[in-house]
Amino acid sequence: MKKTLLNIVIILYVIVAIFTTICLLTYNEYKVSVFGDKTFVIIDKDDEKLPYKKGDLVIAKKKGYENAKEGDNVFFYESNTIKIAKIEKKNDFGDAGITFTIEGNYQVVAEDVIGTSNNIKVISKAGTVLSVLESKWGFLFLIVFPSLLAFLHQIYELIMEISNKD
């Protein structure tokens, strides 16, 4: 029973370590993980105007922004950050593309859109966990060092096994 429980913990740890490593490898220039048309956005501050709380993980899907309506929230890239704002007006230029006018008469082109409130999934408090795992100290102490210790322990066990055979 004890060995089975240990194996389950090890398997879960390996899954978390692989997932975190993949998230770090898929970072874009805005420091968010992008998997195809899905983007993991970690909400890092509370805003009374938005339904998201600090520590939430928002999984935004790029597809479907064409169906966004006025009043929907849109996630978009701006300079070196990610912003969230309400759509005031949608401008469809046919083949030329879609732009959104958001609060403050700011124009957002379709290429900068991460997703809209229609195509997101919010996981409460998962953003806090993911931000700790993706931080350099969190990754070092929670992923790298335990993996190194497990590797060194296996080498020690191998050496002890070889020395006991003699």
Q: Does some domain include residue 12?
A: yes
Q: Does some domain include residue 146?
A: yes
Q: Does some domain include residue 159?
A: no
Tens-place pLDDT, residues 5-33:
999 999 999 999 999 999 999 998 888 99
Q: Does some domain include residue 160?
A: no
Model confidence at 42: pLDDT above 80? yes
Domain that holds residue 34: 2-154
Q: Which of 77, 71, 58 is nearest to 119 (CA)?
A: 58
Model confidence at 49: pLDDT above 80? no
CA distances from 108 to 7, 60, 78, 123 (A): 49, 16, 9, 26
Q: Does some domain include residue 114?
A: yes
Q: Does some domain include residue 116?
A: yes
How many structural domains comprise the chain?
A: 1
Q: Does some domain include residue 164?
A: no
Tens-place pLDDT, residues 142-152:
999 999 999 99
Tens-place pLDDT, residues 64-73:
777 788 888 8
| Cα dihedral value 48, 64, 80, 100, nearest 10 | -70
